Amino acid sequence: MQPDHDTILAPATATGGALAVIRISGDDAFAVCDRVFRGRSPLAEAQGYTVHYGRIVDGDRTIDDVLATVFRAPHSYTGENSVELSCHGSAYIVSEILRLLFAAGGRMATPGEFTLRAYFAGKLDLSQAEAVADLIASSSRAAHALASNQMRGGYSAALDSLRDRLLHLTSLLELELDFSEEDVEFADRQELQRIMQDIDQHLNQLINTFALGNALKEGIPVAIVGAPNAGKSTLLNRLLNEERAIVSEIAGTTRDVIEESVCIEGIRFRFIDTAGIRTTDDRLERMGIERTLQRIARARIVIRLLDMAHFTGSVPAPEFELPERCSLLTVVNKIDLQPDISLPQGVIGLSARDGAGLDTLRQALLQSTGAEELDQNDIVVSNSRHFEALSIARSALQRALNGLHEGLPADLLSEEIRQVIRHIGEITGRGVILSDEILGTIFSKFCIGK
Ligand code: GDP
């Protein structure tokens, strides 16, 4: 896949705002705009990073007063000549301006085409391009931080450094081939093993961050389980109501499913299968065991809600098995019934009805994510494509390590290491040629205009 040099255009803002932005990019971006833009002077004569007031005209008719921001190649997002037209945010005005720009020689951009061009122009690598999409979709501080770090290239730099070290190994091994008659070893096998093990550890660390990274990006799945009448839906309503400002924003995002989730101190928590909690059916279900097990299987945190009305002073053994990666919070609800009771250690007392203990529960939720242990500069993998590439790279590295152990000849060893390099390279797109299919999948997830 190589981009053409058409002049592409697309609205870059959603309808309904006071202003709208239309992006135009390509060799002929200025000429295309100048056919419909009337300012003090043509945009083709303008310097980069300047803004120009003017009108968009259709013959004698003025469509709108606009501001045109000019970017000159290579100093633009795409690396090409680009213009961003700010007009009034009417869907009619935007469609009229688009129509005129099409007639002037532009064509509609496909989803992600601006970013695809930026990638081919070397403005950003593939993982940075993916971070742009994540940034646009981010709906919590944590998701924003992950996308922002990745977009700024910290992750790419870490991968490049692994790649460089591996390339160094292959060059040493390949040097041996040139001197194969003389039976020399440029790459001390013990040293080789040490470096490979170190890289293996780095890969493993990155792989291990994925579960948390992905959960932070998508929202941490939480299951609330407990007997009928324990107060599950009261608790859920309370959490949702207290964070209403944030919850209501979710409806406006482009997610397919509007789910119940809240942001607590910048981290999004998603409540699993809350429809079941909220309907009376659940209460009528005899034990709801099946549903409970399904909830638990998908959760990272389980809130086990016990009812004070039936609480005997000790916590009964759970009626379910907790998955390995899952944290359990045991909560006794309705403490308002017996405010003086002292609960076993580690058990949170709550009154979902009055709100007592809710802050403690929130802090416990935050702690259970494991996100607090993350350093701001820690590299966290949040993209499943990257996770897969890293996992495959690590298996290849394991094979290389085994080969080393078994005294594999330098050329075969080097080939195994090259596999590792290739899979790491797939993440950033550096040093590998990626299939159109991979690029197509990545960029088709973008919105139009990005
Ligand atoms: P669910 O079946 O687990 O979803 O339970 P509900 O949330 O529907 O609550 C069952 C009953 O317990 C309702 O009558 C609630 O008003 C009551 N309830 C819930 N939380 C509390 C609480 O903290 N204190 C008291 N006293 N009652 C509560």
Q: Where residue 30 sits, what CATH number does that domain have?
A: 3.30.1360.120
The half-sphere exposure of 95 on its side-chain side, counting CA atoms within 13 A, is: 4
CA nearest ligand 1 atom 15, residue = 231
Q: Is residue 444 part of a domain?
A: no
231 lines ligand 1 (CB under 6 A): yes
- What would the mean pLDDT of 345-373 be, rounded to a whole number? 92
Residue 246 domain-assigned (yes or no)? yes
- The count of domains in the chain is 3
Average pLDDT over residues 238-248: 61
Average pLDDT over residues 224-243: 86
Task: Tell whether 441 is covered by a domain.
Answer: no
Residues 229 and 369 in one domain: yes
For residue 202 and ligand 1, the question of a CB distance below 6 A is answered with: no
Q: Is 285 in the pocket of ligand 1 (CB under 6 A)?
A: no
Closest residue CA from atom 22 of ligand 1: 334
Do 36 and 102 have their domain in common?
A: yes
Of 78, 104, 124, the residue at which a domain comes to its end is 124
Indicate whether 216 pLDDT > 60: yes
- Of residues 66 and 288, which shows the higher confidence score? 66
Query: In sequence order, what E strands does 143-231 have?
Result: 220-226
Terminal alpha carbon distance of the chain = 18
- In sequence order, the 6+-apart residues with CB closer than 8 A to the CB of 154 are 377, 379
Predicted model pTM: 0.79
What pLDDT is recorded for position 185?
67
Say if residue 72 is in the same domain as residue 163.
no
Do 260 and 363 have their domain in common?
Answer: yes
CATH number assigned to the domain comprising residue 284: 3.40.50.300
Whether 223 and 320 map to the same domain: the answer is yes
Would the CB of 133 count as within 6 Å of ligand 1? no
Query: 6 pLDDT exceeds 70?
Result: yes
Is residue 252, in this structure, part of any structural domain at all? yes
The H-assigned helical ranges of 19-153 are 29-34, 91-103, 113-120, 126-137, 141-151
Looking at the fold, whether 243 and 366 belong to one and the same domain comes out as: yes
Q: Return the pLDDT at 247.
A: 38
Q: 229 C-alpha to center of ligand 1: Å? A: 6
Asked if residue 239 has its Cβ within 6 Å of ligand 1, the reply is: no
Q: What is the arithmetic mean of pLDDT over 353-377?
A: 88
Edge-to-edge strand ranges of the sheet holding 61-71: 37-39, 50-58, 61-71, 82-88, 19-25, 8-11, 107-108
Q: What pLDDT, on a 0 to 100 scale, did the predictor assign at position 94?
A: 96
Residue 191 sits in the same domain as residue 274: no
Query: Does the beta carbon of 352 lie inside 6 Å of ligand 1?
Result: yes
Task: Identify the band that residue 287 occupies on the pLDDT scale cut at 50, 70 and 90.
Answer: low
Residue 90 lies in a domain: yes
- Is residue 168, in this structure, part of any structural domain at all? yes
Whether 334 and 407 share a structural domain: no
Of 373, 389, 405, the one marking the end of a domain is 373
Any ligand 1 atom below 6 A from CB of 449: no
C-beta atoms surrounding 70 within 10 Å: 22
Q: Which atom of ligand 1 is least distant from the CA of 354?
A: 23
Q: What percent of the chain has pLDDT over 70?
A: 91
| 93 lies in some domain | yes
Q: For the domain that residue 417 is a member of, what is the CATH number? A: 1.20.120.430
Residue 252: its pLDDT value, please?
35
How far apart are the C-alpha atoms of 82 and 252, rounded to whole Å? 30
Q: How confident is the model at residue 245 (pLDDT cuts 50, 70, 90)?
A: very low
The span from the CA of 269 to the CA of 352, in Å, is 18
The tens digit of pLDDT for each residue in 111-155 reads 999 999 999 999 999 999 999 999 988 888 888 989 998 998 888
Indicate whether 435 belongs to any domain: no
Domain check: are 109 and 240 in the same one?
A: no
Q: How confident is the model at residue 256 (pLDDT cuts 50, 70, 90)?
A: very low
Our mutation pick for probing the ligand 1 site, out of 353, 358, 360, counting the most ligand atoms within 8 A of Cβ, is 353
Contact 337 CB / ligand 1 (< 6 Å): yes
Domain boundary among 66, 99, 124: 124
Same domain assignment for residues 262 and 365: yes
Is residue 255 over pLDDT 50? Answer: no
Q: Which domain holds residue 243?
A: 217-373
Same domain, 293 and 357: yes
Percent of the chain with pLDDT over 90: 60
Domain co-membership, 271 together with 163? no
